[in-house]
Amino acid sequence: MAVCSEIMGLHQPSFLQGSGSLLLRGNQNKQSLAFPAICPDGQDRRRRLRSAKTVAAPVKATINEDVIKMVVGKQAKVDKVMLRAALTVRRKHKEDIKEAIVNQLDALTDKFGRNVVLELISTEINPRTKKQKTSGATVIKDWFEKKNVKGERVVYTADFTVDSSFGEPGAITVINRHQKEFFLESVVIEGEGSTSSCGPVHFSCNSWVQSTKDHPKKRIFFSNKPYLPSETPEGLKELRETELNELRGDGKGIRKLSDRIFDYATYNDLGNPDRGSEFARPTLGGEKIPYPRRCRTGRPPTDTNSPKVVFIQETTYRASFHGTDMLAESRVEKPNPIYVPRDEAFEELKQGAFAAGRLKAVLHSFIPSLIASISADNHDFKGFHHIDNLYKEGLILKLGLQEHLLKKLPFVKKIQESSEGLLRYDTPSILTKDKFAWLRDDEFARQAVAGINPVNIERLQSFPPVSNLDPAIYGPPESAITEAHIRGQLEGLTVQQAVEEGKLFMLDFHDIYLPFVDRINMMDGRKAYATRTLFFLTPIGTLKPIAIELGLPPRQPGASRPSMVLMPPRDATTNWLWMLGKAHVCSNDAGVHQLVNHWLKTHATMEPFILAAHRQLSTMHPVFKLLHPHMRYTLEINALARQSLINADGVIESCFTPGPIGMEMSSAYYKHHWRGVAVADHTQPHGLRLILPDYPYADDGLLLWSAITRFVGAYVQIYYPDSDPNRVRSDSELQAWYHECVNVGHEDHRHASWWSPLDTASDLVALLTTLIWIASAQHAALNFGQYPLGGYVPNRPPLMRRLVPDPDRDADEYKAFLADPHCFFLSSMPSVLQATKFMAVVDTLSTHSPDEEYLGGTRDGAAAWTADEEAAAVYRAFAAEVAAAEEEIESRNADPSRRNRCGAGVLPYELLAPSSGPGVTGRGVPNSVSI
């Protein structure tokens, strides 16, 4: 298993727990010319063979007749060769007036020397001077002429004259003397020579090239040929290190939006003490409050004397003012952009889709916010039909609020008329096949293995369940659930037999919630228990809930806990109590899902690995090329999360039960290990036997896990063959990357036992497989079902506002519950404002962008990511296996014996079906954590 599997929250397998290239064409008699001597001597045989199999180019640049005449028509110039560069520049779909004017000015000034300047660098060095061979500077010659060319992509050309012994171009430098940055998608170099050719040289750039007024240094781009550090051609060694040094920066200063610097910081920007002391939050990251590191922005400290956070117990904090805390970083509030390295920001299509989703979220929450602001009534839902109407007529008309609002805010009607489509919610998938499925116990259990958070179910190893918390503080460790509670629900088995035969399972949120329950319950409108739920595995392979424990902390340290145990209902009263108990379990589950399994164990855990990859692995490194698609957009979406989701008073605090202490809970969980429900069994197809026979998440996850493992294994063997067992250990960049991931990115756990050495190819395969799994399938399974399965709030309330009624605690409340249990249940749910805000946000988070790139998806020309045909062939085999997995998933969803994914009113499990269209689809596995 991967060396970092435990910190990711994973045991083996981990879930158990250059497009648009153009062909330059001209007259019929134009010729395509080739390079002289671009297969340099001195490479080992394997490298030469792989170079000889370089994939066909997706872009074919040609040289016109004038160039040919210059080269072959002058016999006296046989020692010189003309090379032509074809540069594909991607333009924005939409430009504002200012951008259009600047573009026209840049085109005009290009005529007067404010050019885009290029220089080629050979893979070879001059044998006499021992320095790089360079082409000398040249400029793009047709920028002005193509200023009015329509289309998303424009291809510009530049010519170089080099010695015939120049060798293969291995790098190109670019200087942008215009006023504005431009997006360079790719460069293709072709030329002429009398010796054998290896074809055009491709540079997959996909980067913003800044103006020299912002960044005066040359931009360096390497060809798409992979090189381990030890195999770097002599002519590129210095540039390789120069580029990495620039990406690392010096760790000082405020980052500009145009920077491309990757560095680390703690989560010291979630609070906003300048807004008030109640918005101060502890810094996450450090020995006392461990957390992964995030991308450094270098913003100055807050103006206010912010509270220093003092560590008290394992997960308990208090704030006390001791002067200015220089660790609290000032905030950048939306709509102002927050820094991420320039090339990591959303591209235009993604930005547009995200902005549209955010607009939709704003409109959805606008009316309820108005209602809350002008009325003392918090507007609970008065009936389930009011919730249903959100998906039919929109917010105003069917909540009985239109007249109330129009009297005070006449413009509301215009908003409703102009944006009614945006104000209406789509019907979540959970309601489409069976409107009342959420009420059933079997559906409650099914969602533990095929729902939004299918990773917390675990086999009960002994009875009763016990806590790992300190009994001197939290009381006796044994669960309040006894044999008497469950004996009659085990199909004739004794409790001991059920345990031994693997028939008992549990959702255990006890230990993560209990240290925080008192603080949660002191908040206005927030109520929580620390819950345990026991399930019995039925003979047909489904689970049924048999007991729910609702735990509260002891009234004094070490005393017994005042826990309540609920069993399946026997009458009307126990039915409503059981429904409320299940709702509290779902609320616990929603908090752990969002704060731990989704945010922490995919988004936050991946960020240090991405930062270290950019800082320590050259773009020429084969491991960087492998990982690059799985790092796309993650830094940007994480920055946006710090800005408006996980920050003080952000969406997570507003919509989930833990509220302001949610990120402290996330930090507490960072210390915990993942627990799985599989055992090794080498007779099984994937080397594991699932204890749960019908576990859709794990069943489908194994298909993708195995495909990723085989792909990574074959890819790694190309560059780290078994015949050279020391190659991994001797790879300086690879070792620096891993060392930094452990000792800087996850510094607070750098001494943990799960970090095994990165010594062998097997070690590397395990690590890379885990990272790719987390970024793709793990994140997809936890993210894209949020609105389809959670958009109907009663099915999975993200927060609870009332405890289960107890006649011993509050006799009057219990009487009110008996008199109107329907009203009591709805008043325990989120309010209209809380529910609609939550629905709008998870709708956005569940949406696929139009430019999404999916696991195993086609790549626009294999040379766009590598020139190594052997690696490209390995990827094609992987893509075919992923496609086959999708067909298998479709077949499973039609199998009536798989009752957790097929049956009357049962939703198919599609969250790990790899492909998807844009929008909220409830399926699709993107390559990266991109939303």
- Is the Cα torsion angle 392, 398, 401, 405 positive or negative in sign? positive
Q: Reply yes or no on whether 603 is catalytic.
A: yes
Pick the catalytic residue: 638, 783, 795, 900? 783
pLDDT at 105: 76
Alpha-carbon distance of 83 to 820, in angstroms, equals: 83
Q: State how far the alpha carbon of 763 is from the alpha carbons of 4, 720, 728, 875, in Å.
A: 10, 11, 9, 20
Give, in degrees to the nearest 5, the angle at Cα 655 between 810 and 567.
Answer: 45
Q: Reply yes or no on whether 931 is catalytic.
A: yes
Alpha-carbon distance of 93 to 3, in angstroms, equals: 44
**195 CB contacts (<8 Å, ≥6 apart)?**
36, 37
Q: Reply yes or no on whether 485 is catalytic.
A: no
pLDDT at 419: 46
Pick the catalytic residue: 63, 779, 795, 848? 779
Alpha-carbon distance of 727 to 46, in angstroms, equals: 14
- Decide if pLDDT at 683 tops 90: no
Pick the catalytic residue: 598, 628, 686, 848? 598
Mean pLDDT of 813-826: 96
Q: Reply yes or no on whether 598 is catalytic.
A: yes
Q: What is the pTM of this model?
A: 0.88
Q: Which is it for strands 219-222 and 264-265: parallel, antiparallel or unpaired?
A: unpaired
Question: Would you place residue 682 in the very low, low, confident or very high pLDDT band (cuts 50, 70, 90)?
Answer: low
pLDDT at 92: 79
Alpha-carbon distance of 747 to 376, in angstroms, equals: 48
Q: Reply yes or no on whether 289 is catalytic.
A: no
pLDDT at 779: 97
pLDDT at 811: 95
867-918 residue pLDDT tens: 999 999 999 999 999 999 999 999 999 999 999 999 999 999 999 999 999 9
165-215 residue pLDDT tens: 999 999 999 999 998 899 999 999 998 643 334 579 999 999 999 999 999
- Decide if pLDDT at 52 tops 80: no
Average pLDDT, the chain: 84
Cis check for the bond before 464: say yes or no (omega within 30 of 0): yes
Pick the catalytic residue: 202, 603, 621, 746? 603
Q: State how far the alpha carbon of 436 is from the alpha carbons of 442, 794, 900, 906, in Å.
A: 12, 11, 16, 11
